[in-house]
Structure 1
Amino acid sequence: MKNFSITEINDLLNGVIVGTTNQRITAPEQLELASESEISFIGNNKYTKLWETSKACAAIVNQDINIEPGENRAFIKVPNADLAMSQVLELFAPPAPHFDEMIHPSAVIHPTATVGEGTHIGAGCFIGPKVVLGDNVIIYANVTILDECTIGNHTVIWSGAVVRERCHIGSHCILHPNSTIGADGFGFRPCPQRGLVKIPQIGNVIIGNWVEIGANSCVDRGKFSSTIVGDGCKIDNLVQIGHNSKLGKFCIMAGNSGLAGSVTLGNGVIIGGSASIKDHLTIGDGAIVGAGSGVAADIPAGKTMLGYPAVEARTALKQWAILKRMANE
């Protein structure tokens, strides 16, 4: 079992130790559940009241936290407790699932596929014609990668994920279980003779570097050209990205949110959980769409939008306040 002294953990964080503890730290845990050998964190003053009843021997805290740690307990004060705690979680993280061999005998790899150095391929995987896998790629069991796809160096693809033909995934990406990259976009048109006619979706998906796609999320291929997810984007579980949408760098989409077709997100856009964005809209750099909102018009850069239909946050809050007063009359 891993264990560290408070000083050893602070050597990683470069914070300031307040108080002392001789307890060896065996794991990180939330304040309410921590035992005497565990470390927790306080990122906001509203959680300081939990410290008194917590059994944790130590906590990583923001610099503005003013309470004292107490007897045989210690704080590590840092500028950002959330970021520092992520380093501690990485320190204690258990090893990834083990591969007994580099390529499992049950994996099917087309003769024209290229597999880079240090790449692992798990049981039941299918790697199609002319696929190119970079170096140190990790592909867990039952992943499907179809014809002419490319996967960049150090990318991890978890079980059940599907990457359809001609799609391109960058380096250092993570595709979580059952994510689907490059399924057909949702395109149909009424036809008097045949009902709804399917429009062929002949484009692809291009995903940049350091992108994470959550479990059961879908990025649809373009009707023509490409659906693009820019470098550093983080996509939560159960997210839908429609065909020919284009995400800039470092966008965040929370669970159950969705983009209809041909939506453009600037850099650093944040989409809250269960928010929905109408097709062919543009959302400017740094804009924020609140959870559950419905966006039906373009959003300028830097704006925060709330509600259904979404309006500027200040306007939405005024509307809600008026409704609340009316309900109480």
Structure 2
Amino acid sequence: MKAFSIQEINEVLKGEILGSTSAKITAPEQLEMANSTEISFIGNKKYEKYWATSNACAAVVNEDIAIEPGENKAFIKVKNADLAMSQVLELYAPAPPVFATQIHPTATIDSSATIGNGTKVGAGCYIGPNVTIGENSIIYPNVTILDECTIGSNTVIWSGAVIRERCHIGNHCILHPNCTIGADGFGFRPDPQRGLVKIPQIGNVIIGNGVEIGANSCVDRGKFSSTVLGDGCKIDNLVQIGHNSKLGKFCIMAGNSGLAGSVTLGNGVIIGGSASIKDHTTIGDGAIVGAGSGVTGDIEAGKTMLGYPAVEAREALKQWAILKRLVKESSR
């Protein structure tokens, strides 16, 4: 078990210690669940009220904290408690799964594939012809990487992921279990004689550096050319990204959200959980689409949209207030 003093933790955070605790801190935990040897976090003033009943011996807090730590307890004041939390979690993170051998003997690796120095390949993996994988990447058991794909350096691909042919993934990426990169886009056209005719999807997927894709998410290949995810994009679990969509840098898509085909997201766009975006829609830099919203048209940069169909947040709130008032009046 890892354990650190409050001073040792602050050597990493470089904050200001208020109060004191003699406890050796064994783990981070939520305020309401922490015990007397655990550290917690207060990243918003609305959570200050829970400190009085918390058993935590310490907390990482924002600089605007308005309460005192109390007897044998301590705060570490920082500019951003949420960011500092990530540093604390890294201190306590357990080691990743162990590879007994660098390349497992049950992995099937085509003779034309190139595997970089320090890269590990787990049991039951399939790596196809002309695949290139950079240095110090980790391919966990039962991953499939088909022909002519490229995987960058320091990228981690978890079990069950499938990277289909001719797709390209950058450096320092993380692909979580059972995600699929390069599945066929959803393209069909009605034909009087043959019913629904499948449109061949002959493009690929290009994923930039520092991208993370959640479990069971799917990024479809382009009908032609590429579906593109820019550097730093973070994709949650159960997300659908349709064929020929283009995501700028540092976009976020929360769980169960989806892009239809040929959607364009600017840099820093945030798509809330279960939101859906119509095909051939463009969303400008820094725009936000609220959870559960349905976008049917282009969105200007910096706008926040809510509702189904989505409208500007202020307009949506007005509409909801009017509906609430009408319901109340009709029930009298």
Letter in 1 for 2:180: T
In the other structure, the counterpart of 1:229 is: 229
Look up the match of 1:157: 157
The reply to whether residue 243 of structure 1 matches residue 250 of structure 2 is no
TM-score (norm 1): 1.00
1:81 alignment partner in structure 2: 81
Q: Which amino acid aligns with 2:186?
A: F
Is residue 270 of structure 2 the alignment partner of residue 258 of structure 1? no
CA RMSD of aligned residues (A): 0.4
Structure 1 residues 252-291: aligned runs within 5 Å: 252-291=252-291
Distance in 1 of aligned mates of 2:233 and 2:321: 35
Count of residues paired in the alignment: 329
- SS of 1:49's equivalent in the other structure is helix
Q: Deviations over 1:31-77 (max 9, x none)?
A: 01101000000011111111111110000001111100000000000
- Alignment match, 1:141: 141
Q: State whether structure 2 residue 174 is matched by structure 1 residue 174.
A: yes
- SS in structure 2 opposite 1:18? strand
Letter in 1 for 2:63: Q
**Aligned residues: percent identity?**
80
Alignment partner of 1:51: what SS? helix
* 1:52 partner SS: helix
User: Corresponding residue for 2:313?
Assistant: 313
What amino acid maps onto 1:284 in structure 2? G
Give the aligned residue type for 2:79: P
Structure 2: give runs of 5+ residues left out of the alignment.
none
Distance (whole Å) between structure 1 residues aligned to residue 109 and residue 137 of structure 2: 15
Find the aligned partners of 2:256 and 2:65 in 1 and give their Cα distance. Answer: 35
Q: What is the CA–CA distance in structure 2 between the aligned matches of 1:193 and 1:126, rounded to whole Å? A: 40
Aligned residue for 1:316, secondary structure, equals helix
Work out the CA distance in 2 between the residues paired with 1:261 and 1:249: 19
Match of 1:110 in 2: 110
Give the SS at the match of 2:215: coil
Question: What's the CA shift string for 1:126-171, capped at 9, x where partnerless?
Answer: 0000000000010001000000000000000000000000000000
Asked if 1:208 corresponds to 2:220, the answer is no
In the alignment, structure 1 segments of 5+ residues that lack a partner are: none
Partner of 1:25: 25
- Aligned residue number for residue 193 of structure 1: 193
